[in-house]
């Protein structure tokens, strides 16, 4: 993939991460954003040429990473934030490269620690069975911690939709069971049947729009509609780096046709979207590292993300 400045990012230091992130269908946006941060750290500390050349190469890699998974704004926001922080801290290329690396390592560590704040919120909010789907790293980390903290006499109960296409819910169910949770794995279409057994719904988010809507694995909108009809609250766990710049294109990625149909059928068109959009009206609250956030805070985060994204995409 060529970046906006014409450089082939796949040939740059850290460039193999572009293809790796593009092909990864088993991990969520948080996990892949950390991969992007590590790739940018590598690019800023290695490579050929003088400091100015390496800085342009780092930007090219950041631009390519920002566009590789358009439904996962967390990746674009992560590299844009790293770039913006790095170039703003210094005016000399060598110092900018050092600042880029330091910020990339700090953001990588931030992603790893973000679940701590979400878990603190969950300790007070989760008082009954949880319904979830897909395999959000934030949700997995939060619920696994709760499960380990509970005693065997009072295990955390979680209902997990299998999350087709892809079936990532199966891996989540296995991880939560290993942590001590009492898990029910169900077909996605069973959510209306099982929702009354849940006290609340907790989902992840691959992107959070400035209006509070959430882009997540397909089926999230359906589960939220069912929960809303049943009077169950719906919470989306999302780090602040998932809040999307207003100018960032809303693109719903498509999956492989084979996930639905092994062989084509004449006259049959496949709907292969792997993400959907859940409107803000169906989300009780978005929970970030510091806890639940208000709509005004989301708008401010979106504005910051916008400036960082513009800085990344603007030629040096």
pLDDT at 250 (0 to 100): 79
Predicted TM-score of the model (pTM): 0.86
Q: Reply yes or no on whether the pLDDT at 91 is more than 90.
A: no
- Residue 296 is predicted with a pLDDT of 85
Contact 94, 76 (CB under 8 A): no
Q: Say what the pLDDT of residue 47 is.
A: 64
pLDDT for 6 equals: 56
Same fold flag, 9-113+304-313 and 115-303: no
**Mean per-residue pLDDT of the chain:** 90
What are the residue boundaries of the structural domains of the chain, listed by start? 9-113+304-313, 115-303
- Determine the pLDDT at residue 71: 81
Give the model confidence (pLDDT) of 112-123 as tens digits. Answer: 788 999 999 999
Q: What pLDDT, on a 0 to 100 scale, did the predictor assign at position 7?
A: 60
CB–CB of 205/135 below 8 Å? no
- What's residue 10's pLDDT? 62
Question: Residue-wise over 200-226: b if at least 16 C-beta within 10 A, else e?
Answer: bbbbbbbbbbbebbbbbbbbbbbbbbb
Fold of 115-303: Rossmann fold (3.40.50)
Note the pLDDT of residue 3. 54
pLDDT at site 85: 86
Is pLDDT of 73 > 60? Answer: yes
The more confident residue out of 6 and 294 is: 294
Determine the pLDDT at residue 48: 67
Segment 239-256 shows an average pLDDT of: 85
Is residue 180 over pLDDT 90? Answer: yes
Q: Is the pLDDT of residue 142 over 60?
A: yes
**Which of 72-81, 107-116, 181-190, 198-207 has the least mean pLDDT?**
107-116
- Calculate mean pLDDT across residues 75-79: 92
- Digit-coded pLDDT (tens) for 273-299: 999 999 999 999 999 999 999 888 998
94 pLDDT more than 60: yes
Q: What pLDDT does 15 receive?
A: 81
CA–CA separation, 55 and 214 (whole Å): 34
Averaged pLDDT for residues 191-204: 98
pLDDT (tens digit, 9 = 90+) per residue, 11-67?
766 788 999 999 988 788 888 988 999 999 988 887 667 888 889 889 999 999 998
Pairing relationship of beta strands 291-293 and 234-237 according to DSSP bridges: unpaired
The pLDDT assigned to 306 comes to: 92
Residue 141 scores a pLDDT above 90 = yes
Query: Looking at residue 49, what is its pLDDT?
Result: 74
Annotated catalytic residues are 206
**Statement: 9-113+304-313 belongs to CATH 1.20.120.420:** yes
């Amino acid at each position: 993939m060529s970046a906006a400045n014409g450089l082939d990012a796949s040939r740059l230091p850290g460039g193999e991460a572009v293809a790796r992130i593009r092909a990864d269908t088993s991990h969520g946006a948080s996990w892949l954003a950390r991969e992007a941060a590590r790739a940018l750290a590598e690019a800023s500390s290695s490579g050929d040429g003088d400091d100015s050349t390496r800085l342009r190469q780092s930007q090219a890699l950041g631009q390519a990473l920002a566009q590789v998974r358009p439904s996962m704004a967390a990746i674009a926001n992560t590299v844009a934030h790293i770039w913006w922080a790095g170039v703003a801290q210094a005016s000399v290329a060598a110092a900018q490269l050092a600042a880029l690396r330091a910020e990339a390592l700090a953001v990588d560590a931030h992603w790893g620690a973000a679940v701590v704040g979400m878990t603190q919120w969950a300790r007070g909010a989760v008082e009954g069975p949880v319904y979830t789907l897909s395999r959000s790293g934030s949700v997995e980390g939060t619920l696994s911690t709760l499960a380990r903290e509970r005693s065997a006499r009072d295990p955390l109960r979680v209902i997990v939709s299998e999350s087709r296409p892809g079936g990532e819910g199966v891996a989540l169910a296995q991880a939560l069971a290993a942590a001590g949770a009492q898990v029910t794995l169900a077909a996605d279409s069973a959510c209306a049947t099982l929702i009354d057994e849940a006290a609340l719904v907790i989902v992840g988010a691959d992107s959070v729009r400035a209006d509070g809507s959430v882009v997540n694995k397909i089926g999230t909108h359906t589960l939220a509609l069912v929960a809303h009809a049943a009077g169950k609250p719906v919470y989306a766990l999302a780090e602040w780096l998932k809040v999307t710049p207003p100018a960032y294109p809303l693109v719903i990625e498509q999956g492989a046709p084979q996930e639905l149909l092994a062989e084509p059928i004449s006259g049959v068109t496949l709907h292969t979207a792997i993400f959907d959009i859940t409107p803000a009206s169906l989300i009780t609250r978005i929970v970030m590292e510091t806890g639940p956030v208000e709509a005004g805070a989301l708008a401010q985060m979106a504005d910051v993300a916008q400036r960082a994204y513009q800085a990344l995409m603007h030629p040096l």
